[in-house]
């Protein structure tokens, strides 16, 4: 790739806005304005198209900074409105509940790195052994709960991931759990695959350096379907106590003091657990939704072209109308491959 004469990668740069011009046929994207590493504002012109691939949080931010988004919101920030579209609405994610923990000890779980010198030596010499394992994803399960909607077919609506404690140095800084994470534990993470709650992304200011406002709105659906589904997943994780006990694991009944007022395993306890131990899966999507011309929620069409603005496409997970029933990485790669074919076909 680095030998391609038509490719230039600008690092440590911040995109400020998409450059738009108005023609008789309507607005058209003609380039991008960005700030380079030296703080200089640079404009680059596009001979064919501008493609926005900044992710489900920053693609809507960039579009709104360019005047493409909800008109009332843009006017409040004194941003000139070019196209009134529901940019930033419909934010989806897979809420991860880090609630059910099982205690374990040597040799099954060893968190004391001083006792793992042999594992370290083996990994350093051959890249094999216990430390070569992807502890976060070694064991998982996809489930279809009793709360699953009929229109989802046979798709799972829950994912259970078993986290070994050698991953906690990576995860702990980003979650709400307490010191027990630094002990010998196996955590059964319950992830909601088909959330009905929707959040949003909005501009915090018209300054491109200002982080956008983000509302994930976990468990915010009117019917409480999302929370009910997660509770069923947590119940399943608790039912694993008997078989896991045979392997040397035991249920940790003290891991969340915030929920201690509820009996362990009760409906109130599990709902409290979900509300106090949920973190993001970093699977943000849906904020530049793809849809038909008569869909008031749609930002891009089936060719990923921004509605009402020519020469501009969005290619990332923000265009997903519904989040996938699993990790979003591979589907996003697939989406990019399809987008490449669409662009080549349009230019041929």
- Fill in the DSSP letter of residue 14: E
Measured between alpha carbons, how far is 184 from 248 in angstroms, rounded to an integer?
Answer: 12
The vertex-210 CA angle with 314 and 93, nearest 5°, equals 50
Pairing between β-strand 83-84 and β-strand 68-69 as defined by DSSP bridges: parallel
Encode 154-178: b = buried (16+ Cβ within 10 Å), e = exposed.
Answer: eebbbbbbbbbbbbbeebeeebebe
How far is it, in rounded angstroms, from Cα 176 to Cα 222? 25
The residue assigned the tokens 């891009």 is 300
- Preceding omega of 254 cis (within 30 degrees of 0): no
Q: Are 293 and 85 in contact (CB under 8 A)?
A: no
Is 159:191 a contact under the CB 8 Å cutoff?
A: yes
> Are the C-beta atoms of residues 188 and 240 closer than 8 Å to each other?
yes
Between CA 240 and CA 232 the distance in angstroms is 13
Phi, psi of 267 (to 5 degrees): -60, -40
Comparing CA positions, the residue from 202, 223, 248, 244 lying closest to residue 86 is 202
State the catalytic residues.
283
Q: Give the side-chain half-sphere CA count within 13 A for 28.
A: 12
Q: How far is CA 288 from CA 92, 242, 299, 326, in A?
A: 11, 45, 5, 20
Dist. CA 38–CA 59, nearest whole Å: 23
């Amino acid at each position: 790739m680095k030998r391609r004469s038509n490719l230039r990668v600008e690092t440590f740069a911040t995109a400020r806005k998409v450059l738009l011009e108005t023609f008789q046929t309507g607005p058209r994207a003609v380039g991008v304005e960005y700030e380079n590493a030296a703080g200089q504002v640079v404009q680059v012109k596009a001979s064919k198209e501008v493609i926005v691939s900044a992710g489900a949080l920053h693609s809507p931010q960039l579009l709104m900074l360019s005047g493409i988004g909800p008109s009332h919101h843009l006017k409040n920030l004194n941003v000139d409105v070019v196209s009134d579209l529901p940019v930033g609405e419909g934010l989806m994610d897979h809420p991860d509940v880090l609630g059910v923990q099982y205690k374990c000890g040597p040799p099954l779980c060893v968190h004391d790195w001083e006792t793992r010198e042999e594992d370290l030596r083996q990994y350093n010499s051959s890249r094999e052994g216990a430390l070569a394992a992807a502890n976060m994803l070694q064991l998982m399960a996809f489930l279809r709960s009793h709360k699953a909607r009929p229109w989802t077919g046979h798709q799972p609506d829950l994912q259970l991931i078993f986290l070994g404690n050698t991953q906690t140095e990576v995860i702990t800084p980003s979650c709400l759990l307490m010191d027990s994470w630094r002990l010998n534990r196996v955590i059964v993470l319950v992830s909601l695959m088909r959330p009905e709650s929707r959040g949003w992304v909005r501009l915090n200011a018209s300054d491109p350096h200002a982080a956008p406002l983000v509302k994930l709105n976990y468990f915010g659906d009117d019917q409480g379907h999302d929370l009910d589904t997660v509770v069923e997943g947590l119940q399943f994780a608790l039912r694993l106590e008997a078989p896991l006990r045979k392997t040397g694991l035991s249920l940790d009944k003290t891991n969340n003091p915030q929920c201690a007022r509820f009996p362990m395993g009760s409906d109130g306890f599990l709902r409290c657990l979900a509300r106090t131990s949920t973190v993001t899966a970093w699977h943000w999507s849906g904020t530049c939704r793809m849809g038909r011309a008569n869909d008031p929620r749609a930002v891009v069409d089936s060719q990923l072209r921004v509605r009402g603005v020519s020469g501009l496409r969005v290619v990332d997970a923000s265009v997903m109308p519904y989040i996938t029933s699993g990790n979003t990485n591979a589907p996003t790669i697939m989406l990019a491959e399809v987008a490449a074919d669409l662009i080549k076909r349009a230019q041929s």
